Structure 1
Amino acid sequence: MKQIRVLLIEDHFLARMALHSVLSGHAQISIVGEASDGEAGIAMYRSLRPDVAVLDLRLPRVSGFEVLAQVRKEFPGARIVILSNYQGSEDIYRAVRSGAMAYLTKDASGEELLGAIQNVHRGLRYLPQAALGRLAERMPAVDLTPREAEVLTCITKGCSNREIADELGIAEKTVRIHVSSVLDKMGARDRTQATIYALQRGLVHLD
């Protein structure tokens, strides 16, 4: 079983030690580095290139939001799990919009954190129902037709226009029209953002 290389970016010593203890006890996890502030976190990410980074948002010198933005700018494929005391919808929304693939609060269990890391490592997003609920509160309703809802579900699965056409039994040209309409109604600039919005608004659900 291939190990998941994890970088911890957390300023509180005891919290960092607790994370290390919980995660390093699992055979699939290898803690490759620990940073106690945002500036060090960015530098360590550059040098270590971990599979997954676990990031706190409240950090000295450089905030977690700035770390997230900088790392994602330099490494667009970076897989980052937010672990924070912040529970407000705006914080969750901002983190997800900035590229975080998972958002957990610090009262999450070790098992849930491990599951989030494993999902993110596989390229999947992980947002607990509580986080999705808070996001849904701040998002306006989206009025999709039944066909557009089907197209959106296919988009969240990563299907191409051709694959959507085959799945729904419609012309590829028609799919392009539906995709354009879905993005417009959701205020999304691309498919990735539409997927994030769909999860936030509860329009689709992760299996």
Structure 2
Amino acid sequence: MTIRVLLADDHPLVVDGIRGFLETYDHIEVVATATNGEEALAAFAAHNPDVVLMDLNMPVLSGLAATEIMRERKPDARILILSMHDSPEYISTALRHGASGYVLKEVPTEEIVDAIEKVHAGERYLCTGTEQMIAPERGREPLTSREQTVLLELASGMSNKEVARSLDISVRTVETHRKNIKRKLGISSTAGLTRYALEHGVLRE
């Protein structure tokens, strides 16, 4: 059975390289390519591929947004994220948006083919090393109500001093909350906290 693949990535060299090695396999056919999320949606509608190989960071419309829309239009769409980002945030976010799997661009080409086959068969695929990264998140310690409040204020751009003043607590207490929030969420940066808050409805755009 031929697996019909839509390849979406905004880097022409990446597209050419991946398309070239995929087409050396008799059972895989690249039916279309796209350089942004909007093109990917159009190609998805026109070609109805078996598997979409999707980059996360693309212009016009991101891979995450395109993934979500594809799953809304076709709930059984098989979408495999191909990314250079190996952080737990990216991986878990992609899965929450409906991705069927996640594979890093740096893996051997044989693993990408294996991922396509697994996703096509209806399985979830996480490339070597990523399963361990997101495993802690599934059994993650929940945030306390105070930590959720601190997260909201930090994510909205307030400094530690401003949060302390707003909640009538010490700056040191805010720093402790901040450290605990980052530890529980597995997030290392303030930008990551903001992204988490947006994605989980804690903070609105």
Deviations 1:27-63 (A, max 9, x none): 0001100001111001110111000010000101000
- 1:132 aligns with 131
Deviations 1:98-136 (A, max 9, x none): 211110111011100000101111111111341111102
Higher radius of gyration, 1 or 2: 2
Alignment of 1:92-171 (within 5 A): 92-140=91-139
In the TM superposition, residue 140 of structure 1 has moved relative to its aligned partner by 2.6
Question: What is the CA–CA distance in structure 2 between the aligned matches of 1:120 and 1:10, rounded to whole Å?
Answer: 19
1:48 aligns with 2:43: no
- 1:70 aligns with 69
How does the TM-score come out when normalised to structure 1? 0.66
**RMSD, aligned CA:** 1.3
Give the secondary structure class of the aligned counterpart of 1:69. helix
Structure 1 runs of 4+ aligned residues shifted over 2 Å read 137-142
Alignment of 1:189-204 (within 5 A): none
Question: Structure 1: which 5+ runs fail to align?
Answer: 143-207
1:61 aligns with 2:84: no
Question: Structure 2: which 5+ runs fail to align?
Answer: 142-205
Question: What is the CA–CA distance in structure 1 between the aligned matches of 2:76 and 2:56, rounded to whole Å?
Answer: 19
- 1:32 aligns with 31
Give the secondary structure class of the aligned counterpart of 1:134. helix
User: Is the 8 Å Cα contact of residues 104 and 127 (structure 2) preserved in structure 1?
Assistant: no
In the TM superposition, residue 95 of structure 1 has moved relative to its aligned partner by 0.8
1:14 aligns with 2:13: yes
Deviations 1:165-188 (A, max 9, x none): xxxxxxxxxxxxxxxxxxxxxxxx
In the TM superposition, residue 87 of structure 1 has moved relative to its aligned partner by 1.1
Question: What is the CA–CA distance in structure 1 between the aligned matches of 2:138 and 2:35, rounded to whole Å?
Answer: 34
1:54 maps to a residue whose letter is L
Q: Percent identity?
A: 35
Question: What is the CA–CA distance in structure 2 between the aligned matches of 1:95 and 1:82, rounded to whole Å?
Answer: 7
In the TM superposition, residue 69 of structure 1 has moved relative to its aligned partner by 0.6
User: Is the 8 Å Cα contact of residues 7 and 34 (structure 2) preserved in structure 1?
Assistant: yes
How does the TM-score come out when normalised to structure 2? 0.66
Alignment of 1:181-192 (within 5 A): none
